[in-house]
Amino acid sequence: MPENTKSEVKKVVIPVAGLGTRFLPMTRIMPKAVLPVVDEPMVAWIVREAKMAGINDITFVISENTKIALDYFKPKTKLADMLEKRGCTDLVEKLQKIEKEFEDIKFSVAVQPEPKGDGDAILKTKKMVDKEPFAVLFHDDIFFGKQPAVMQLLKVFQTSQKPVIGLKRVSQEKLSSYGVASVEKIATHLYKIKKIIEKPKPGEAPSDLAICGRYLLTPDIFHYLGKTALTQKGELILAEAFREMLNDGKVIYGCEIEGEWLECGKTADWLKSSIFLAMQNAEYGPVIKEWIKKLK
């Protein structure tokens, strides 16, 4: 690539192949990615974020049990015809609105037969991504704010052409549940990452900046994933590949994302996030707020 040529991010990877064990018994019959958040499957919020950031090439990392996550985005011709015959024009319009919103998205899939870690999921997309930079959006992290989370990372990448990791501040008592970054501050909301500590013990976190499910990666991540050792559980962990990169002197930036971080990785968090988003909804918000008042 010529020295002055900057790479553009045109692809997004969304891993959805996990078992969703934290959501049992619900995930006995449906994958976590299609659990509803307000009135849409969880994964629809993530695809919309990519689209709002101008990225229309999306690769899902699926397993045999999670391929249904793609079905939401496919035309529902038979259902529309049935509703049309019954005179349910309002419901037909709802279906058409969804199809129109996502009609320009190019979907592809990579298969992860067994859930062997987030690094393994990303490694499975090597052929799809090829030699281009790409974004990774984890489907159980939703952001609500003025600007899509991944777009905030894109702005850093456009200038730096280096990997960018999304960060959010977390209270001290919760830090042991996350990967936490040791950082050097460069500007407002922008950091140079020095080290990543996975699930630090209480009092040992290097900062209050947790990794929050948004990444802008360069193709060399595949080289590092390919040589990163598996954990004792046989998993390939993305954070370990970052550690190898940092040890080799590679530069990785951290972007503190503005907006609400609505976690959906555990049942209680998913319920709270769905209620929060329902309260922002023009149709459901007034009803939910009035209902909550009556509960007090």
Under 8 Å between Cβ of 161 and 251: no
pLDDT on residue 4 = 53
pLDDT on residue 1 = 45
Under 8 Å between Cβ of 196 and 211: yes
pLDDT on residue 5 = 61
Positive/negative CA dihedral, 121, 165, 253, 158: positive
The answer to whether the pTM exceeds 0.85 is yes
User: Quick check: helix, strand or coil at residue 210?
Assistant: strand
CA dist 171 and 264 (Å) reads: 18
Strands (E), 75-163: 106-111, 134-137, 141-144
Q: What does pLDDT average to in each consecutive run of 10 residues of the chain (296 residues)? A: 67 92 90 94 96 95 89 90 92 92 93 92 91 95 95 95 96 91 95 94 91 95 93 91 94 96 95 95 93 86
Which residue carries 């969703």 as its tokens? 20
CA dist 222 and 131 (Å) reads: 10
CA dist 112 and 40 (Å) reads: 25
CA dist 221 and 132 (Å) reads: 11
pLDDT on residue 2 = 46
CATH superfamily of 11-281+288-292: Spore Coat Polysaccharide Biosynthesis Protein SpsA; Chain A (3.90.550.10)
